[in-house]
Amino acid sequence: MYPLSILDLSPIVEGSDAAQSFRNSLSLAQHGEGWGYQRFWLAEHHGMPGIASAATAVLIGHVAAGTRTIRVGAGGIMLPNHSPLVIAEQFGTLESLFPGRIDLGLGRAPGSDQRTARALRRNLASDADEFPQDVQELMDYFSGEARQAVRAVPGDGLDIPIWILGSSLFGAQLAAALGLPYAFASHFAPQQMMQAIDIYRATFRPSAQLSKPYVMLGFNVFAADTDEEAHYLASSAQQAFINLRSGRPAKLPLPQRDFLKHAGPQEQALLEQILSCSAIGAPDTVAEKMQAFIKHTGADELMITSQIHHHAARLRSYEIAAQATRTMVNKAN
């Protein structure tokens, strides 16, 4: 099976609450484990009515405790929101509880608006600029031979894979310089994807963690048993993106039939750009689009996100995506 992983925002849907979102996230991880997904990542966002994964490390522990083999991690922790020592202690704790199963993806965006960022006690003027130094400080805490007087306990000497996340060229350059795996947010910011991949691969320096470049790309899948049903399910995410870009973030809306037909030209253009790295359709349609995307990008792994309102339909979408990769492998053989 081609390596597939799950990105979950633990969506809070219309008519529900965070408690149900957490139950759904665990359910998705358990099913994903059975379908052969490599890893299950949760993303740090703050102040978002439709996203429940703000306390990311806590939720990672919840999911890891309810699964057995799938890797569980952050996609990602927004490091400027935190001291590197605190993250080293949190993920050192997680790795100690669930050895060999924890990933730590790091981003430099706040995962929030400026008011929320200030409430997180961030120094907006300098924190993002200090991201490379913060990443190296965090790596040092895990090294077992830290150059700093302070030790991360737990954390010191633990083997926790670190990834660099990005949606621009900056992350690609940093991941290459540090010899770390790179995850690009093509599922919502695809504009610089190919340029970022090229820079990362061309300038990669081998490290103790990684001997050659490794690229994971975000990819939206809205899959169902028919193309018509898949487009219906995708309308929840389409509405959510429009709401977010219009300054009206909300819970994940109910799907609407023929949503795109009633959207204005500006909204349609926005969605075409944001969701260009997507597969919407029945199993054969999804398999074809996933295969074309992998061939075009040379991605080593895809991280699938399916922002679908109904939990049973979301599970089915991830199941179809997993089946699609088996179809691709069988055809290749």
Could you read off the pLDDT of 67-115 as tens digits, one per residue? Answer: 999 999 999 999 999 999 999 999 999 999 999 999 999 999 865 677 7
pLDDT recorded at residue 109: 81
Question: Domain-by-domain residue ranges, the chain?
Answer: 1-160, 214-333
- Domain 1-160 superfamily per CATH: Luciferase-like domain (3.20.20.30)
258-263: average pLDDT: 90
Q: What is the pLDDT of residue 333?
A: 47
Q: Position of tokens 């075409």?
A: 272
Q: What is the mean pLDDT of residues 117-125?
A: 68
**What's this model's pTM, rounded to 2 decimal places?**
0.94
**326 or 75: which leads in pLDDT:** 75
Residue 128 has pLDDT above 70, yes or no: no
Does the pLDDT of residue 244 top 80, yes or no?
yes
Is residue 33 pLDDT above 60, yes or no? Answer: yes
pLDDT in tens, 280-319: 999 999 999 999 999 999 999 999 999 999 999 999 999 9
Q: What is the DSSP letter of 216?
A: E
pLDDT at 123: 64
**Taking 50 as the threshold, does the pLDDT of residue 3 lie above it?**
yes
Q: For residue 316, give the nearest of 27, 121, 9 by alpha carbon.
A: 27
Res 125 pLDDT > 70: no
Residues 6+ apart with CB under 8 A from 54: 44, 45, 46, 47, 48
Neighbours of 273 (CB within 10 A): 12
pLDDT for 332 beyond 60: no
1-160 and 214-333 in the same fold: yes
Q: What is the second-level CATH architecture of the domain 214-333?
A: Alpha-Beta Barrel (3.20)
